[in-house]
Amino acid sequence: MTLAGAVAGKVTAVQLMFTGCSATCPVQGALFAAMANRLRSTDVQFLSISIDALGDTPAALSAWQARFGQAPGWNAAVADPADVDQLADFMKGVAGKRGTHTAQVFVFDRQSRLCYRTGDSPAIGDLETLLSQAAQTLRPAST
């Protein structure tokens, strides 16, 4: 599945991670588990994308999520090895910057458009605000 397909139709928070990380990825996993449990919305989803395309497996991702409390609306996937660098460049908005690891969260609207790039390790309240703002994108005005 493509990134656009994975985020289409829902406001989506995306993080780039890998299960073998012991620095920022566990903090990001805890953030996504907390947010998914806090919001419990059918209109918002959380997606952790492993950038260790050769080392992570669906089973490893499931075990990683279980460490933080698997929550409804929080999914995980492994990027295709050929797409890792291009995906990281697109998400971070910086082509050719060394390394794919980041503690940023990337927020997409329902039309699969990247709306926001957070700074490293965003606070729960800040991320919640960005998700709410993305949910308002192209929503019909209420009468």
pLDDT in tens, the chain (143 residues): 688 899 999 999 999 999 999 989 999 999 999 999 988 888 999 999 999 989 999 999 999 999 999 888 999 999 888 888 888 888 887 665 555 678 899 999 999 999 999 999 999 999 999 999 998 876 554 44
User: What per-residue confidence (pLDDT) applies to 95?
Assistant: 60
Sheet holding 11-17, edge to edge: 74-78, 44-50, 11-17, 106-108, 114-117
For 16, what's the count of Cα atoms within 13 Å in the CB-facing half-sphere? 26
Q: What's the number of domains the chain is made of? A: 1
pTM score: 0.89
Assign 3-state DSSP to the chain and report helix, strand, coil percentages, each to 5. Answer: 40, 20, 45
Classify residue 25: in a domain, yes or no: yes
CA distance 63 to 139: 36
Classify residue 143: in a domain, yes or no: no
User: What per-residue confidence (pLDDT) applies to 143?
Assistant: 42
Q: What is the CATH number of the domain that holds 94?
A: 3.40.30.10
User: What per-residue confidence (pLDDT) applies to 30?
Assistant: 94
Classify residue 141: in a domain, yes or no: no
Classify residue 102: in a domain, yes or no: yes
Q: Strand, coil or helix: what is 141? A: coil
For 33, what's the count of Cα atoms within 13 Å in the CB-facing half-sphere? 14
Q: Strand, coil or helix: what is 29? A: helix
Identify the domain containing residue 71 by its residue range.
3-135
The answer to whether 36 and 85 are in contact (CB under 8 A) is no
Classify residue 142: in a domain, yes or no: no
User: What per-residue confidence (pLDDT) applies to 86?
Assistant: 85
User: What per-residue confidence (pLDDT) applies to 7?
Assistant: 93
CA distance 96 to 117: 17
Classify residue 21: in a domain, yes or no: yes
Classify residue 57: in a domain, yes or no: yes
CA distance 61 to 81: 16
The answer to whether 82 and 49 are in contact (CB under 8 A) is no
Classify residue 53: in a domain, yes or no: yes
